Structure formats: C-alpha cells, structure tokens
Chain A
C-alpha cells in the first residue's frame, strides 16, 4: 500500500460516522444504510485518482453515496421490513430539544418523503451542508435544492402535526 493510499484510507475511516448518518437519512433500514456506505467506500477506493487532494472528501463521498443509492442500492433494499423491530424501540422518548417531536416520529416522517426530498433533507438538515454545497453534491441548481427542501418541510410539518393530533 502506498503512503498516499494509506492516507486516503485513513481519511475515509475518519468520515465513516458521518457517512453512516447520511446513509440513514437516505435508506429506510439500518442495514441498507450500511450497505450503501460500504458500496460507496468500495467505489471511492477504486476511483481514488478522481479525488483531488485538498478538496472536501466528505462532499465527494456524499456524491458517490447519492449515485450509489440511485443506480444500485435502492433496488435491493429490504422493502418488507421498513421498521425493523430492533429499531422500533430505539431512540424512543422525548427529544431534549422539543417536547412534541421525538426522534422516532421524525425519522418515520422522513421515511415517507420521496428520494429527492429525503436526500435534500439529509444533506442540509441532517449533515448541515450549505445549499450551495448540497447543490454541488447533487449536481443540480441551488433553486432545485431549496424547492425540494421546502416541499419536504411542508410535508414533514403536516405529518408530524397530524401525528400529534392523533395522540
């Protein structure tokens, strides 16, 4: 292994927690999310020469994950078990930030958004990317990112307020 490759791999390892978190915003199941991260990591390693040192590897990886989701992983997800039993009991409880919106309810609501909206939410709200960076990752104009985000938020507000009323 060359020193460059070792350094590249070290940086990749340091990004894994962020990649997994973004993966969970995209994929509806934990194992699918990890599959997505794994596929993206493998692709990144075969295309190492395409990454320009000095640029943000995180954005580059998000781009690879977005593409991997669309052209490979999405098709083989575990559709039949959207809410895995081990996850149903996880993070239940009241978010310290807000009495009404707990983490599980939020994640369930996000699962009901379409792919484009979920990915926009994942990049901007979950990962905190500026609109400009999110647009670059997706290869779309900024206006497209903001309109996806706006529609996603409307829908999330509606889903979460109806869930509250149903209690």
Chain B
C-alpha cells in the first residue's frame, strides 16, 4: 500500500481520523522506507516549531505592551477625590507576561504560586482574575449572616446576575481591597478588584470595610438581576454549591 505525501503530512500533523492513523501506524511497522519518509516529515515539523519557540521567552518590547494596555495613570488630584485607586486590569496582565509579582501579598502569578499557597488570594489566568486560597474558600463557604466581624475576607452582597451566575462582593483585610466575584465553571472569577489607599500615619484605610467603592458598585449595578439574596436564599445557594 502506498501513501501520498499529503496523507503522510496529515498523519504527522495528527489530522487523520483514528482508522487512517492506525492504518499508517501498521504500515510503518512493516515498511522501513515509509517509516523513513514519515520520520523526515516529523523532523521538519519539530524543527520548525523549535526554531520559533524561543521567541515566546523574549522580553516584550515596551511599544507593544503600551499599544495593548495603554495604562493611563490616575492623577493625584483625581485619586483623592475618588478615594480608591484602580488597580488597572491591563497592568495586571502585563505583569503576568513579565512574570513580575505585583499588587502586594494577595495577588500572585499562577505559574509561581500554587493554588494552595494561603498568601495567594488571586491569580491571573488567560486575562481573567480568578480567586484562589482563602478568598476562594470564603467565597464558596462563608455566609454574610454568620461571618465574624473581624474575618479576613468579608462577604457583602450576594446576588444572581443577569447571565444566571451567583456573584458576591467582598472586602479583604479590613477594607484594603474590595471586589466582586462571580461563580462559573467551578471557580470564582473576579471582574473587578479595587485597592484602597492607605491614609494617615496610622495606615488606616479611608473607607470602612462595609462600604463598597464606586467601581465595584457600578459592576454590581450592571450585573444584578432583581435584588440581593436574603440570609435564607444565600444559605440555600451555598448549599447547592452556587449552582441554580
């Protein structure tokens, strides 16, 4: 049996159906000449891929990062009036590309910090922030009605979003950061997280833990379907594993 170069190419590229693949596998085993032809194709494929692989590790030119993220710094005056400093999404993603840890102790890089690291509350994955560690546990298990006043993660509102996911607002570390998390595909995605600015020599946060920054409230307003859940509905949703 003879095979065309096109067919062997598709074999090497793993584009053939299982039956044709098995047929060629069997033919290779008894035909050294065919085996050599396939090997040549395979070597070329591997060599081409390997020739470009190191480019992924090159430092990213600044002009490309700037073009894609265009981080606009917030002026000091605007900051004071807003009281909250945006942690820019785009800057966060750039730091993943560069492999740099940013944003203090509770933000990590998924490749460096294992999910079990209690200091890592969030990781960036494919452009999304996903809750990990203590934050993920609190989002899944903690109820606003029973949580302790001094809990490290405090849950605020729980509501059902227009797309049918459960979403919960939270604050971290006595109001050092506040955000929104929505459940889906077995994890909590974080569409927004805002860090508070420390003020005064005592290092207190300006905004009390119970209050949510406007950026988070805006996200809640955009997503919320009906009202927020009461204690009973929150408990029921928690017991269903945040599935409807």
Contacts and interface: CB of A to CB of B under 8 A. Distances in A.
Contacts of B127: 7, 10-14
Given A20-B55, A21-B56, A37-B64, A110 B48 contact: yes
Interface string A139-167: 00000001101100110110010000000
Give the interface size bracket for A toward B: 35 or more
Interface residues of B, number: 49
B48 A128 contact: no
B205 interface: no
Contacts of A7: 89, 127-128, 191
B68 A101 contact: no
Contacts of A17: 55-56, 58, 60, 97
Interface in B36-79: 40-41, 43-56, 58, 60-61, 63-65, 67-70, 72
B219 interface: yes
Nearest to B125: A14
B5 interface: yes
B90 to A, nearest CB: 4
Interface in A1-22: 1, 3, 6-7, 9-14, 16-18, 20-21
A79 interface: no
B10 interface: yes
Contacts of B85: none
Contacts of A12: 68-69, 127
B122 interface: no
A6 B90 contact: yes
Interface of B: 5-6, 9-10, 13, 15, 40-41, 43-56, 58, 60-61, 63-65, 67-70, 72, 88-90, 92-94, 96-97, 124, 126-128, 191-192, 218-219
Closest 9 CB pairs of A and B: A11-B127, A10-B93, A6-B89, A101-B47, A103-B51, A106-B51, A13-B93, A125-B48, A9-B90
